[in-house]
Homo-oligomer: A and B are copies of this chain.
Amino acid sequence: MSRILTLTTDFGLEDHYVAVMKAVILKNGPIDLKMVDISHSVPPNDIMAGAWVVREAARFFPAETIHLVVVDPGVGTDRDPVLIKSHGQWFIGPDNGLFSLISQDAGYEAWRLDNAHYWLDEISSTFHGRDLFAPTAAHLASGVNPNKLGTPGHTLMTWRWPEPIQDKDGVRGWVAHIDHFGNLITNIPSSVVKEFQFDSSIRMKIYIGNTILEYISSTFGDVEPGQAVIYPGSSQMLEIAVNRGNASELLGVPKGSEVTIVFQKPAL
């Protein structure tokens, strides 16, 4: 299998920004490199949204994949450019919290990118994706040793990503992402309720906005069209959907909203 390089940015698809990064990669990378766009619709400057989508995507890419990730509101200031190895894959971008989730899930090694030999000749102050990160990623794909690209032993700047709160009576989390369908993806791992899901002696109430659900389903087709449903999602987190509808709009629930599950023990 040839080498894979993915791209994730908040650049959108209307401008030439993504294409010129690809041009720089094609000029400096190996001929058999495969480029895959993850998303260029990260909300502008939303570092944690970028951190989330890269973590979710990386699970399915093979070892040695290179992920170029640019959500960079501090471009041109003193935030460091970094290269990270984690989960057997590579991540390149600004050290502004963008790698908080990847580095939280497993150990990492990080290099501070400081070798301008591998950058474009002229470095703008507002487009390091093109001038610094893209050529570095291409050279890494071509087999350049990371120790040549930067200085090892870097400690990442990370943001704390709130974890769900759990005790014997229940769990409280929040809506971490709303997808294209309007499905509400929580930060509550499906494993939390797995043992209860098929145990009809455990009753529960799930509170989200003004909606109360009473059991965990398998898929949105388990309820009638128009009805809300909670199920273990494809990201291994609990998700709330409306069958054939947009849950965020129909339930009036924005990103960041609380989701609370209360277990109701059977009376003896």
Contact = CB atoms under 8 A, between A and B. Distances in A.
Interface residues of A, number: 67
Nearest to A56: B16
Residue among A1, A15, A59, A76 with max Cβ neighbours from chain B (10 Å):
A15
B73 A244 contact: yes
A13 B36 contact: no
Given A125-B231, A130-B234, A234-B130, A36 B22 contact: yes
B36 A26 contact: yes
- Chain A's interface: helix, strand, loop or mixed, by majority? loop
A239 B20 CA distance: 18
B6 A126 contact: no
Contacts of A36: 19, 22-23, 26
Contacts of A124: 232-234
A45 interface: yes
B1 A62 contact: no
Contacts of A57: 16, 19-20, 23
Contacts of A246: 44
24 contacts: A1-B27, A2-B31, A12-B179, A14-B39, A15-B39, A15-B53, A15-B177, A16-B38, A19-B39, A20-B59, A20-B60, A23-B60, A23-B61, A23-B62, A26-B36, A27-B62, A60-B130, A74-B221, A75-B220, A76-B220, A124-B232, A125-B219, A126-B219, A126-B231
Given A13-B13, A77-B219, 10 more contacts: A11-B180, A15-B179, A20-B56, A22-B36, A23-B60, A24-B60, A76-B219, A77-B222, A125-B219, A125-B232
